[in-house]
Structure 1
């Protein structure tokens, strides 16, 4: 498995260039085609404006400003992409909201790269649940780049959060190209007793996850953890202790009325992450 088509969210948030660089470096390593997708935010503006006539000349300057801001962000993306010998890259701009446009395009990609959301900055008004919604709506894994600091490249040490769930299994399988390149992989196993109880029969989840990864050439260290508290906080703390450069985890939550109600672990990680996070649902 490899990532041959990667889409990165293009926005005007402060760490946008870091996100583009990270996506471009990954595309270079994977020999992947890189797509930069920007949303002008026009659709949302038109939906929320009180103007009766959307074609009225009075609102044209506002629309031009929004599209111009997205175009300038795309120019920055193009400069970053052009700085590396990628096999291919392209820019795309849409008026629809990122949660819809990214979800739709990501279904035709192997990986979606996003910056950690900032509720204050950004032309497209990103919100904290964007990554989780794209992950769940598209079925494509999402690579989150933290806004606090530039992530290290290449990724050498990875922490995989494991609780035996479908989401964790998908995250593990999608992240295999990264896990195989890493020099050290720690697997944090939460609720071992409950995990073994649910498995039943002769299946021993703690042993099985190690064997599964070993067959893919990934040697791991298993760390059993009592998740009596917030599993998200526990994973971030453990990532810091182990010097992890990437956290791989399942994305938990459910959708209702187009709003994602995040599971506790996912919410904590997306809000407090200071290292890149790879998620799948």
Structure 2
């Protein structure tokens, strides 16, 4: 089992550089095909009601398209230099249908690799993180903007609470977990075992050839910070966890642990929902 078809978000800035390099490094090591997608923001059609608005829309779209084309050229050049099979495309994401379009695209790949959310993104430069995570049904790997090393997957931490989200994250990350020399299955502040009586997830992973051990962590930290702290203490190369969300007033917002990890992550994280 291995990833053979990877989608990577192409973004500007230091986060985009780290994400592109990680995706191409993973593509090289797994001999996967890597497709780069450059999201293009599309202003709301309401701007077209005024002539000035139409000019603003046209100018913004032209600038966004020019930026996307530059990102694609850089990505394809890097892929060729790395000997990775690759292609790229622009993806226009409107305010009304952007999430649906990005999610539909992500469903056609084994995994989507995206950048950690950043405050320095251009206002019209959308992200496909939420769409891929909550709408694709596929795993998402988030690369921290401070990441600089080639993909190294010797040690992994799997956050396990027995939930559907954690199970999907485990299944989605399995091709990476089988490559790890050691996997820790971590539960946070749980007095009782989270697995079905007589069965545990370590045994399941062992049958896939994964060297995994259970670790129960008791701490006063919240779950997100506890996972990040444990990952640092154990010098983990990868964190695998469920991606959680809450629906408020018809808007999707990240759950507490998910939000904390996305804000403070220092290592690549695989999430699924």
**Shared topology, TM-score over 0.5?**
yes
Q: Could you tell me which residue of structure 1 aligns to residue 169 of structure 2?
A: 171
Contact map agreement 1:159 1:239 (CA 8 A) in 2: yes
Single out whichever of 231-240 and 30-39 deviates more from structure 2: 30-39
- Pair 1:175–1:153, CA change in 2 (3 A): same
- Pair 1:48–1:38, CA change in 2 (3 A): farther
Q: How many positions carry a matched residue from both structures?
A: 270
- Measured in 1, the distance between the counterparts of 2:11 and 2:113 equals 12
Contact map agreement 2:93 2:102 (CA 8 A) in 1: no
Q: Could you tell me which residue of structure 2 aligns to residue 157 of structure 1?
A: 155
- Pair 1:59–1:228, CA change in 2 (3 A): closer
- Pair 1:243–1:23, CA change in 2 (3 A): same
SS at match of 2:12: coil
State the Cα RMSD in Å: 2.4
SS at match of 2:14: coil
- Measured in 2, the distance between the counterparts of 1:261 and 1:61 equals 31
Q: Does 1:215 align with 2:207?
A: yes
Contact map agreement 2:185 2:215 (CA 8 A) in 1: yes
TM-score between the two structures when normalised by the length of structure 2: 0.89
SS at match of 1:80: helix
- Pair 1:2–1:121, CA change in 2 (3 A): same
- Pair 1:59–1:191, CA change in 2 (3 A): closer
Q: Could you tell me which residue of structure 2 aligns to residue 135 of structure 1?
A: 133
Single out whichever of 18-27 and 241-250 deviates more from structure 2: 18-27
TM-score between the two structures when normalised by the length of structure 1: 0.86
For structure 2, list consecutive stretches of 5 or more residues without a partner in the other structure.
none
Contact map agreement 1:119 1:125 (CA 8 A) in 2: no
SS at match of 1:175: helix
Residue 162 of structure 1 and its aligned partner are, at CA, apart by: 0.7
Map residues 174-193 of structure 1 onto 2, 5 A cutoff: 174-193=172-191
Q: Does 1:20 align with 2:17?
A: no
Task: Give per-residue Cα distances to partners, 1:105-132, cap 9 Å, x unaligned.
Answer: 11111100001011222464456xx534
For structure 1, list consecutive stretches of 5 or more residues without a partner in the other structure.
none
Q: Could you tell me which residue of structure 2 aligns to residue 40 of structure 1?
A: 40
- Measured in 1, the distance between the counterparts of 2:57 and 2:257 equals 42
Map residues 15-94 of structure 1 onto 2, 5 A cutoff: 15-41=15-41, 43=42, 45-47=43-45, 49=47, 51-52=49-50, 56=54, 59-86=57-84, 88-94=85-91
Q: Could you tell me which residue of structure 1 aligns to residue 144 of structure 2?
A: 146
